[in-house]
Amino acid sequence: MVSVEKAVIAKISKEGMEFEILVDPDLALDFKKGKPMSIENILAVNEIFRDSRKGERVSSKDLEKAFGTSDVFKVAEKIIKEGEVQMTTEQRRKLIEEKTNEIATIISRNGIDPKTKLPHPVTRIINAMKEAKVNIDPFKPAKEQIKSVVEKIQGILPIAMERVEIAVKIPIEYAGKANAMIREISEVKKEEWTSDSWIGVIEIPAGIQGDIYSKLNKLTAGNVQVKILKEYKI
């Protein structure tokens, strides 16, 4: 259990009231991100406060009204998961950096330069995000932030977010290994096994076209046929 001196505040507003708890900063963030652990190990004190700095506790009646229970641990769990956890400067920097990298990676995989039809490297996207002063929410899912990020960096880095549907034909002797790779990184829309080959229609993010072509050529010793059927924006 963390000491009160080293604890930070986690808080939430419900039913017009404020609720606060004192928590271990690292464990609380891990728990908020989904890591399973005992809530008892996260709390500095087993109390729910109206104002933790003044030591004002919340009544059982108000807990029941706002959370449907007066159980301290159940309430604390909801406060951490649904509310706001104070972060140290280093924690916030690290979380934002991780989320920025995650967002940039998704954009690189799914987006291409509309002129060259090639993907932008992750580092180029991150630099554009910094130049555009994009604000990243460390707790909001990366996929939910993609649209707004792309809109903000478009003036700096032209990006077309696209997916591609491709027809693939692989000789039967290479189909096993190649098929496993295809299923790992793409969505197989249709497939057919013939006496001498595997034929499929797959869908992939536009940004990984070059990567998948390279892998297919390597796995089949160049004996693969591919054809782009359609491209569409996402």
CATH of residue 66 = 3.30.1250.10
- pTM to 2 decimals? 0.70
pLDDT for 39 equals: 96
| pLDDT exceeds 90 at position 203 | yes
pLDDT for 220 equals: 96
Residues 17 and 76 in one domain: yes
Residue 39 and residue 29 in contact, taking contact as beta carbons nearer than 8 Å: no
Residues 99 and 76 in one domain: no
Residue 8 and residue 87 in contact, taking contact as beta carbons nearer than 8 Å: yes
CATH of the domain at 102: 1.10.10.900
Residues 79 and 102 in one domain: no
**Distant-in-sequence, close-in-space partners of 196: CB < 8 Å, separation ≥ 6:** 171, 172
Residues 11 and 79 in one domain: yes
pLDDT for 139 equals: 85
Residues 76 and 8 in one domain: yes
pLDDT for 64 equals: 96
Give me the mean pLDDT over the 134-153 stretch. Answer: 94
Residues 8 and 81 in one domain: yes
> Of 158, 177, 203, which residue sits at a domain end?
158
Pick 15 or 2 by higher pLDDT.
15
Dihedral over Cα of 138, 144, 147, 151: its sign:
negative
Q: Which of 161, 171, 170, 172 is nearest to 213 (CA)?
A: 170
Residues 30 and 75 in one domain: yes
24-69, pLDDT tens digit by residue? 999 999 999 899 999 999 999 999 999 999 999 999 999 999 999 9
Give me the mean pLDDT over the 192-207 stretch. Answer: 95
| pLDDT exceeds 80 at position 110 | yes
| pLDDT exceeds 90 at position 233 | no
Q: How far is CA 199 from CA 164, 194, 223, in A?
A: 17, 8, 13
Give me the mean pLDDT over the 93-122 stretch. Answer: 94
Q: Residue 88: which pLDDT band, with cuts at 50, 70 and 90?
A: confident
Residues 184 and 224 in one domain: yes
> Of 63, 85, 107, which residue sits at a domain end?
85
Domain holding 36, by residue range, is 4-85
Q: Residue 232: which pLDDT band, with cuts at 50, 70 and 90?
A: confident
Q: In the chain, pLDDT over 70 holds for what percent of residues?
A: 100
Q: Which of 28, 11, 29 is nearest to 20 (CA)?
A: 11
Q: Residue 117: which pLDDT band, with cuts at 50, 70 and 90?
A: confident
Residues 171 and 136 in one domain: no
> Of 101, 131, 158, which residue sits at a domain end?
158
CATH of the domain at 214: 3.30.70.240
pLDDT for 33 equals: 87
Residues 209 and 187 in one domain: yes
pLDDT for 75 equals: 98
Residues 69 and 106 in one domain: no
Give me the number of domains the chain comprises: 3
Dihedral over Cα of 87, 89, 94, 95: its sign:
positive
Give me the mean pLDDT over the 64-82 stretch. Answer: 97
